[in-house]
Amino acid sequence: MENKCESNLAELAIHEKAEKHHLAVIDIGTNSTRMLIFRNDEGKLVRVNKSVRYTRMGQGINQTGKLHPDAEKRNLEALEEFKNIAADYEVEDFYLFGTSAMRDAQNTAAYLAAVKEKLGFEIEVISGEAEAELGFIGVSQCFDEKLLIFDIGGGSTEFIYGEDNEIKKMMSINLGCVRCTEEFIFSDPPSFQELERMNEKIYAEFEKRTTGFLPTKPYKLIGIGGTATSLATIKQKLKTYCSEMVHESTITKAELERIIDDLAGKTIKERQNMVGLEAKRADIILAGAFLLLNIFKITGETVFTVCDYDNLEGAAYRHFVMENS
């Protein structure tokens, strides 16, 4: 199945490279920076190429309130690499947006100016609510029922509730897998006390913030973003990422608890060698899993569905497809 997926992607890339009118969106997140190259086929979003680099823009922001020079360097290098990849596909236009780390850092304006000067890219730093809205637009291309969507990012977690392809309410909470890892986990492997403190803080914050927010059941619980997709690849033991196998797969609360037990007993180095987990997520995946565990707790749900379309596809649709339709 993995070989079939890789073959399909390779054939798609060859075919799509020959097509013109390519566009690109770039999401500068707290943990990763991602680019989607696509085309607008009569109002339908056609994905052509997806790239990800783990730039860890949220490094140290909790402690200093500023973007770390090393993080800025990593991200600038990733954006330069993305620009070269986009040139190979003859991309005609870009939209770049920054999320939690760039929202919170005091020196973001200086970094935006540096990117503009060196690469010519304009970056829009969007609010948590705008980020949630883009996530909903992405998911809405795949599901049209009553949805409660969560997006566990590096610096924040977004909740979006919608019906009939329309957002009813949304919120952003400043708890993410990078932020929680830096605040609570100092041992390797983490101590029981560290995990307990993190778990208690997440539950207390989620319960407080979502009181009066959660919709009445039934609804479909949907997970988007790197934590959700990574847990799906861990569960399925995928050696290489395959959208076909991740998209619309499910994870139960019991399965998540088993994954947490396995992750918690391993060092970062041991996690880096796990089948299904990208090495650069090894240090933060446990915090992401605890954030998800507490989403199960506050909603009372026992299973969620993974969606491989998220705010990246939502941004592409919003800024290039909807505006031209």
- pLDDT tens digits, one per residue of 113-165: 999 999 999 999 999 889 989 999 999 989 989 999 999 999 999 999 999 88
Assign residue 73 the CATH number of its domain.
3.30.420.40
Residue 300 pLDDT more than 80? Answer: yes
Q: Which of 98, 127, 156 is the last residue of a domain?
A: 127
Does residue 166 contact residue 189 with C-beta atoms inside 8 Å?
no
Residue 187 pLDDT more than 70? Answer: yes
Residues 115 and 161 in one domain: no
Residue 186 pLDDT more than 70? Answer: yes
Does residue 247 contact residue 170 with C-beta atoms inside 8 Å?
no
Residues 147 and 241 in one domain: yes
Q: In this predicted model, which residue has the larger pLDDT, 265 or 62?
A: 265
Average pLDDT along the chain: 92
Task: Give the integer Cα–Cα distance in Å for 151 and 228.
Answer: 8
Residue 91 pLDDT more than 60? Answer: yes
Residue 245 pLDDT more than 90? Answer: yes
Look at residue 218 and tell me if it is in a domain.
yes
Task: Give the integer Cα–Cα distance in Å for 77 and 132.
Answer: 27
Say how many CA atoms lie within 13 Å of 172 toward its Cβ.
Answer: 18
User: Each residue of 41-54: pLDDT tens digit?
Assistant: 888 889 999 999 99
Residues 118 and 90 in one domain: yes
Q: What is the 3-state secondary structure (H, E, C) of 253-311?
A: HHHHHHHHHHHHCCCHHHHHCCCCCCHHHCCCHHHHHHHHHHHHHHHCCCEEEECCCCH
For residue 233, the surrounding DSSP H or E stretch is helix 226-236
Residues 150 and 210 in one domain: yes
Across the range 66-84, mean pLDDT stands at 97
Residues 34 and 89 in one domain: yes
Taking each helix axis as running N to C, give the angle between helix 69-88 and helix 108-119, from 0 to 180 degrees, rounded to the nearest 10.
Answer: 30
Across the range 168-178, mean pLDDT stands at 94
Residues 176 and 289 in one domain: yes
Across the range 300-310, mean pLDDT stands at 96
Look at residue 132 and tell me if it is in a domain.
no
Say how many CA atoms lie within 13 Å of 301 toward its Cβ.
Answer: 27
Residues 10 and 46 in one domain: yes
Residues 269 and 121 in one domain: no
pTM equals: 0.86
Look at residue 114 and tell me if it is in a domain.
yes
**How many structural domains are present in the chain?**
2
Look at residue 315 and tell me if it is in a domain.
no
User: Each residue of 12-60: pLDDT tens digit?
Assistant: 454 545 456 899 999 999 989 999 999 998 888 899 999 999 999 999 9
Residue 127's pLDDT is 93
For residue 8, the surrounding DSSP H or E stretch is helix 2-18
Look at residue 320 and tell me if it is in a domain.
no
Enclosing domain of residue 148: 143-306
Residue 306's pLDDT is 97
Taking 3-state DSSP, the helix, strand and coil percentages for the chain, each rounded to the nearest 5, stand at: 50, 20, 30
Residue 325 pLDDT level (bands cut at 50, 70, 90): low
Residue at token pair 């979502």: 210
Give which of 2, 68, 56, 64 is closest to 30, Cα–Cα.
56
Assign residue 284 the CATH number of its domain.
3.30.420.150
Residue 220 pLDDT level (bands cut at 50, 70, 90): very high
Residues 301 and 180 in one domain: yes
Residue 20's pLDDT is 66
Residue 5 pLDDT more than 80? Answer: no
Tell whether the torsion through CA atoms of 199, 205, 211 and 214 is positive or negative: negative
Look at residue 136 and tell me if it is in a domain.
no
